[in-house]
Amino acid sequence: MVQVTVDKVGLDQDGEQAVVLLADLTKSTLIPIWIRAMEATAIALPLQGLKAPRPLTSDLVISVIEHLGAEVVMAIIREIKDGTFYASLVLTRGDEEIEIDCRPSDAIAVALRRASPIYVMERVLAEAGIRSEEDTVQ
Amino acid sequence: MVQVTVDKVGLDQDGEQAVVLLADLTKSTLIPIWIRAMEATAIALPLQGLKAPRPLTSDLVISVIEHLGAEVVMAIIREIKDGTFYASLVLTRGDEEIEIDCRPSDAIAVALRRASPIYVMERVLAEAGIRSEEDTVQ
């Protein structure tokens, strides 16, 4: 697994789709993941250190996790099938580790809210990673 | 507390806001709650017995609850402050009852996914309830 950070979140021109751009820690490889515009807000806010005036559904996910005595460990972007990314959220409760399947947008939104690391499996990086321009120029 | 059902979910004309219309079981009183358009989908789908092609964040809330050994008991629309509705989600795990604050749209979306009952506190009904037209006509 390779650790990544969220480099950017952007909307496309008609505002219907959004892209979240993950980057490895050296910023030499970027992984663009298309998400729905409504999920972009849930990622953009914690990225800017902001909170929504009312809690979003991602905040409820955190609240449920904590009320049930668990903690967020990390988000993992696991695989791509037919162009669709699959992810999971890893939690711990005591000695127990719990992994829950979810969309990349949810995994990223929840991880960012707890400053938990985000990882991408090597095979996803190999298939969807693109070398960053800065790196190509050097 | 008065049990309600979701009578309708509708979008306003510019598609930016949505209203979820709760009704008591005799349908004599309606409670309109304005929610964001993006939350309307999370309520409209289970209401029609449909699933999103990809799980929505509300589905992740259910998944987290169940992976952590808890169950959804009910949603409660608790109060109105300055025109804003506040709700909570009641869970059980073994003998333990856990109540989690959330937006009405999240509480309703999660309850519908588990066919769990939705309640409205009497004081909310008194403040926001409107007699249904059918009832007025009689």
**What's the gap in Å between the CA of A134 and the closest CA on chain B?**
34
What is the reported pLDDT for B92? 98
- Residue A108's nearest CA partner among A40, A49, A52, A51 is A40
Q: Report, as an integer, the average pLDDT of B107-119.
A: 97
> Using the beta-carbon criterion (under 8 Å), do A60 and B93 form an inter-chain contact?
no
> Three-state SS for B121?
coil
A9-19: pLDDT as tens digits:
988 777 778 99
Of B38, B61, B68, the CB nearest to A60: B61
CB contact under 8 A, B102 and A60: yes
Chain A residues near residue B93 by CB distance under 8 angstroms? 68
Picking from B64, B69, B84, the nearest residue to A64 by CB comes out as: B64
pLDDT of residue A5: 97
With CA atoms as reference, report the closest residue to B9 among B38, B43, B59: B43
CB-CB: which of B64, B84, B91 is closest to A61? B64
pLDDT band at B134 (very low <50, low <70, confident <90, very high): low
Q: How far is A83 from chain B (nearest CA, A)?
A: 13
How does pLDDT run across B59-81, given as a tens digit for each residue?
Answer: 999 999 999 999 999 999 999 99
Interface contact A55-B102, CB threshold 8 A:
yes
Instruction: Identify which has the larger pLDDT, A39 or A100.
Output: A100
Biggest distance spanned by C-alpha atoms of chain A: 49
Kindly give, in sequence order, each residue whose CB lies less than 8 Å from that of residue A73, ignoring residues fewer than 6 positions away: A90, A91, A92, A97, A116
- Closest CB to B57: pick one of A61, A68, A100: A61
Gap between the Cα atoms of B103 and B31, Å rounded:
15
In CATH terms, the fold of domain B2-137 is: Bifunctional nuclease domain (3.10.690)
Residues 6 or more apart whose CB falls under 8 angstroms from that of B3 comprise: B24, B25, B117, B118, B119
Per-residue pLDDT reduced to its tens digit, A84-126: 999 999 999 999 999 999 999 999 999 999 999 999 999 999 9
Q: How far is B138 from chain A (nearest CA, A)?
A: 40
Measure Cα distances from A127 to A23, A80, A85, A130 in Å: 14, 8, 11, 9
CA of B135 to nearest chain A CA: how many angstroms apart?
35
Q: Residue A54: its chain B contacts at CB < 8 A? A: 84, 103
Alpha helices in A4-103 (DSSP H): 37-47, 57-67
Closest chain B CA to residue A106: B57
The ipTM value here is 0.92
